[in-house]
Amino acid sequence: MNNQWKIYLLTIVCFFTGTSEFVIVGVLDEISKSANITISQAGQLIAVFAITSAIGTPISIFYLRALNQQKIIMLALLLIIIGSVLLSIAPNYSLMILSRIIMALGVGLFNVQCFLVATKLVSPEKRASAIGTVTIGFNAALILGLPMGRIITAMFGWKAIFWILALFCFASMALVYKFIPAFEVEKPTPFKKQLSAIKNTKIVLSMGISLFWILGYATYYTFITPYLRQVSLLSEQLLSPTLLAFGIATLIGNRLGGYLGDKFGIPQVILICMLLNTASILTLSMLKGTPLLIIPALMTWALAAWAPGPLLRYNVISLSSEEPGVILSLYNSLIQVGVAAGAGLGGIVINHLPIISLSYTAAMLVFISSVITFFFIKSKKYGIGQ
C-alpha cells in the first residue's frame, strides 16, 4: 500500500508542532502586556524553549529508547498539549517558563522521530523526497504561523492560539495511533562518538559560521515584532501581512540557497549571503515609517538570512567521516543553543540599550560569521585541517 498519504499526515502534524515553537515570536508584545512582564522577559520564553530542546531532546531520546516510535510521537504530542494548555492558563511567569520547557521537550522529540519515521515509510530512493515533504510542514509554520497567530490574537487574544494548537495536537494523536506504524527505535549514538565527529579545523570553522549566523538571526528575529512597531513604526494593520511576506521570503531563500550553492559553490554563496544579511539588517535600522521600503528590506533580509540554511547543514555533514546522523545531531544542538543565546542576548540589549541596538548587535554577529567563512574558504584553498 502506498504510504505517501502518511507522509502528508506527518507534514500536517509538523505544521502544528512547528507553529507551537514559532508563533510566540509574533505575539511577544501581547504576551508582555497581558502577563505584565517586560518584552525581554517574554523573549526568554523562546530562549528557554531552545535550550531545553538542545539539551533535553537527546537525553529524552536516550531514556525513551525502549518505546517504539509511534508511542514516542504520541508522547511528544501529549507534552505539547500539556505545555500549550499550561501556557494558556498560567497565572505567573514561572509557570509560563515551565510550560515552554514541557512544550520544547515535546517538539524536540517529535522533530527527531517524525523525520526518522518518514524515511521508514518509503523506499530508500525516496527518503530524501520524504524528508523534503515533511520539512514543508515546518516551513509552513514559519510562513503562516506568525501572521495567523497575529490574526487570532487580534480576534480572540493570544491564549486562543495555544488552545487551538492543543486541540489539533489531540486530534493528531488519534490519527498517529490509527495510521502510523510502530517502528522500533534505533540504538542512540553514544555521546563520546558524537564528540569524536569534530576532528579537523574545517569542521570547527563550519560550526563557527553556523553559530554566529544563528546568534545574529535569533538576536534580531526574537524581538522582530516590537522592533517593527517601535523602530520601523509599522502599524498593527500592516504587521500580519509583513510577517507573511517575511515567511514567504524565508522559504524562497531556502530554495534559492540550494540552487546557488550547486551553481557557484557552497562557501562562496554562504559568504555573499552573510554580507548581504549584515547589510540588510543595517538598512532596516535606517528605515522608519515607510512600509513601501520596510517590507522589501525585511524580505531581502529573510532571503539573505535563510539562503545559507541548507548549505550550512550540508557543509557540516559533508566534512565529516562519521555517520551523517552523528554530526547532524551535534549541529542541531548547536543551532538550538545559538537560538537560546541569541534570544538571551537580545533581551539583555533591549533591557540596557535602545531597541534599535538590536540591529547593530545582530549585524556585528553575522559579520563575524562572514569573517569565519572567509577563513574557511582559505582553509580549503590551502588544504588546512585535512
**Among 188, 215, 248, residue at a domain's last position:** 188
Can you list the alpha helix ranges (DSSP code H) found in the chain?
4-22, 28-35, 39-63, 69-89, 93-120, 127-156, 159-179, 191-196, 201-221, 224-230, 236-264, 266-285, 291-306, 309-319, 324-352, 357-381
Spatial separation of the C-alpha atoms in residues 14 and 115, rounded to whole Å = 10
Decide: 226 and 26 in contact? Cβ < 8 Å: no
**Judgement on whether residues 168 and 244 belong to the same structural domain of the protein:** no
For residues 62 and 47, the model is more confident at: 47
**Judgement on whether residues 121 and 70 belong to the same structural domain of the protein:** yes
For residues 380 and 67, the model is more confident at: 67
**Whole-structure pTM value:** 0.77
**Judgement on whether residues 384 and 236 belong to the same structural domain of the protein:** yes
Determine what percent of the chain is predicted with pLDDT higher than 70: 90
Decide: 282 and 359 in contact? Cβ < 8 Å: yes
**Judgement on whether residues 380 and 271 belong to the same structural domain of the protein:** yes
**Judgement on whether residues 172 and 103 belong to the same structural domain of the protein:** yes
Spatial separation of the C-alpha atoms in residues 256 and 343, rounded to whole Å = 27
- Report the pLDDT value the prediction gives residue 98, as an integer from 0 to 100: 97
Residue 186 has pLDDT above 80, yes or no: no
- Report the pLDDT value the prediction gives residue 243, as an integer from 0 to 100: 85
Q: Hey, what's the cell of 188? A: 542512540
Picking from 45-54, 177-186, 262-271, 349-358, which range would have the lowest pLDDT averaged per residue? 177-186
- Report the pLDDT value the prediction gives residue 322, as an integer from 0 to 100: 56
Mean pLDDT confidence for 74-97: 96
**Judgement on whether residues 178 and 294 belong to the same structural domain of the protein:** no
For residues 384 and 124, the model is more confident at: 124
- Report the pLDDT value the prediction gives residue 115, as an integer from 0 to 100: 78
**Among 168, 188, 208, residue at a domain's last position:** 188
- Report the pLDDT value the prediction gives residue 384, as an integer from 0 to 100: 47
**Judgement on whether residues 210 and 236 belong to the same structural domain of the protein:** yes
Spatial separation of the C-alpha atoms in residues 225 and 236, rounded to whole Å = 10
Mean pLDDT confidence for 38-59: 88
Determine what percent of the chain is predicted with pLDDT higher than 90: 41
**Judgement on whether residues 342 and 331 belong to the same structural domain of the protein:** yes
**Judgement on whether residues 63 and 169 belong to the same structural domain of the protein:** yes
- What's the CATH code of the domain at 16? 1.20.1250.20
Q: Which of 5, 111, 137 lies closest to 329 in space, CA to CA?
A: 111
Q: Which of 121-125, 131-135, 267-271, 278-282 has the highest mean pLDDT?
A: 278-282
**Judgement on whether residues 210 and 329 belong to the same structural domain of the protein:** yes
Picking from 44-53, 115-124, 298-307, 319-328, which range would have the lowest pLDDT averaged per residue? 319-328
What is the tally of structural domains in the chain? 2
Q: Which of 202, 360, 353, 347 lies closest to 286 in space, CA to CA?
A: 360
Decide: 358 and 223 in contact? Cβ < 8 Å: yes
**Judgement on whether residues 51 and 39 belong to the same structural domain of the protein:** yes
Residue 236 has pLDDT above 90, yes or no: no
**Judgement on whether residues 184 and 195 belong to the same structural domain of the protein:** no
